[in-house]
C-alpha cells in the first residue's frame, strides 16, 4: 500500500499492511531545518507565504516514513480572516488584537469572505499536494468552541474564564459567535479539500474546559454543523482534547476520533461504531525519553491496539519542542516495523 492508501484505508476501518502514522506538530521546532528557516522568517510570515508553508510541511516527510503531511498553518487564521488578527506574546502565549465582549462585537464579524482572505492557505496546500506523490495531505481548522476561547478572552489564559462566564451569563451571544465561527470553519475546510487535502482534522483543543453537561450544546452541535457541510468521501478527524463523554463525540459525524493521552484508547476502540476509526494517543512527554524507551512505549500501545482495523497512530498532543529528531525517528521506525498480524 502507498502511504495515502494506508491512511485512508485505516480512516475507513479497513485492513492495512501496517499501522499508518503521522504526528501532531510533526513540522516544527524540534527539527534543525525548521529552526534554520525560523531564524530568517517569523512564524506568521511562514504561515502566510505559501512557498515557506509548503517547505515546512514537507520537512518531516523527507526524514521519516510518515503516512500523512499536515499543512503548516494555524487555527487562528480564521479569527484573523474575520477581522481579529493574532500575535505571540513575549514569553509565550497568544495575544488577539481585539476581543469579543458583546453581541455587537459578534455582529461585526463577517464570515462570508473568509476563504477570499485565506487564499495563502489553499495556495500552500496546492504546492504541497504537487510535491507529494503517495502521501496523504491533511488540512485542519479549530473547532468553534476553541476559537471562541481566544476571541472572548482576547488571547491565551489559564482556563479561559471570560469564555466560561459568557457561556453562563449570555448563552445567546455565545451561540451567535459559535454559529459565525462554524460557517467560517466549514467554508475554510471545503476550500482546503478543493485545494487537495485528502482529509481534515478539527481541533477542539479546549474541549476539556467546557462543563460536560454543556459540551453538546456549546461545541458538539457546531462541529456537527461543520461536518454536515463538507463533501462526502473526505474523512474528518475530530480531536476533542479532554472531552469527558467520549462516546458522545461520535454524534459529531466524524469518521475518525482523535484522543489525548489521558484517554483509554484500547477500551474506546473496542466500542467504536462499525466502519469508524480512532487516532492517538501516545503521550508526547514520552518522546523526551531515550529513543529506546519511546520505541518501547509505542510498541506497547500498538500491542494493545492489535486486531483493531480502524486505527491511526499519533500522539495525544503535539510534539514538544525539546523532542529530538532521533527520538522521532525511533518512534516512526517502531510503528512502521510493527507486525500487525493477529
Q: Which residues are catalytic?
A: 25, 29, 38, 74, 150
Residue with cell 483493531: 308
Q: Which neighbouring-strand residues pair with 312? A: 279
Distances (CA, A) of 101 to 108, 112, 163, 181, 205: 12, 21, 10, 15, 22
Distances (CA, A) of 321 to 30, 284, 295: 5, 10, 19
Distances (CA, A) of 49 to 72, 78, 83, 107, 195: 11, 16, 19, 30, 16
The answer to whether the beta carbons of residues 58 and 128 sit under 8 Å apart is yes
The answer to whether the beta carbons of residues 273 and 250 sit under 8 Å apart is yes
Residue with cell 488584537: 97
The answer to whether the beta carbons of residues 54 and 9 sit under 8 Å apart is no
Amino acid at each position: 500500500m502507498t502511504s495515502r492508501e494506508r491512511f485512508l484505508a485505516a480512516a475507513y476501518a479497513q485492513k492495512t499492511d501496517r499501522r499508518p502514522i503521522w504526528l501532531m506538530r510533526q513540522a516544527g521546532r524540534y527539527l534543525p531545518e525548521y529552526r534554520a528557516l525560523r531564524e530568517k522568517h517569523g512564524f506568521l510570515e511562514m504561515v502566510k507565504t505559501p512557498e515557506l508553508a509548503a517547505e515546512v510541511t514537507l520537512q518531516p516527510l523527507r526524514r521519516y516514513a510518515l503516512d500523512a503531511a499536515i499543512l503548516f498553518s494555524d487555527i487562528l487564521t480564521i479569527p484573523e480572516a474575520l477581522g481579529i488578527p493574532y500575535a505571540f506574546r513575549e514569553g509565550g502565549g497568544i495575544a488577539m488584537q481585539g476581543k469579543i465582549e458583546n453581541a455587537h462585537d459578534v455582529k461585526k464579524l463577517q464570515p462570508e469572505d473568509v476563504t477570499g482572505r485565506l487564499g495563502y492557505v489553499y495556495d500552500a496546500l496546492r504546492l504541497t499536494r504537487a510535491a507529494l506523490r503517495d502521501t496523504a495531505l491533511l488540512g485542519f481548522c479549530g473547532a468553534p468552541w476553541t476559537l471562541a476561547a481566544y476571541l472572548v478572552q482576547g488571547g491565551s489564559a489559564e482556563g479561559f474564564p471570560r469564555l466560561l462566564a459568557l457561556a453562563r451569563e449570555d448563552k445567546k451571544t455565545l451561540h451567535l459567535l459559535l454559529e459565525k465561527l462554524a460557517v467560517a470553519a466549514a467554508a475554510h475546510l471545503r476550500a482546503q479539500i478543493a485545494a487537495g487535502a485528502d482529509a481534515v482534522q478539527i481541533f477542539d483543543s479546549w474541549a476539556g474546559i467546557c462543563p460536560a453537561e454543556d459540551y453538546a450544546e456549546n461545541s458538539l452541535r457546531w462541529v456537527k454543523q461543520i461536518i454536515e457541510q463538507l463533501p462526502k468521501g473526505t474523512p474528518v478527524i475530530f480531536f476533542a482534547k479532554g472531552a469527558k463523554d467520549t462516546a458522545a463525540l461520535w454524534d459529531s459525524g466524524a469518521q475518525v476520533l482523535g484522543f489525548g493521552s489521558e484517554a483509554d484508547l484500547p477500551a474506546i476502540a473496542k466500542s467504536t461504531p462499525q466502519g469508524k476509526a480512532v487516532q492517538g494517543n501516545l503521550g508526547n512527554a514520552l518522546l523526551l525519553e531515550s529513543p529506546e524507551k519511546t520505541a518501547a512505549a509505542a510498541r506497547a500501545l500498538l500491542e494493545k491496539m492489535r486486531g483493531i482495523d480502524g486505527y491511526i497512530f499519533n500522539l495525544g498532543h503535539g510534539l514538544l519542542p525539546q523532542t529530538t529528531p532521533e527520538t522521532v525517528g525511533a518512534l516512526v521506525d517502531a510503528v512502521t516495523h510493527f507486525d500487525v498480524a493477529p
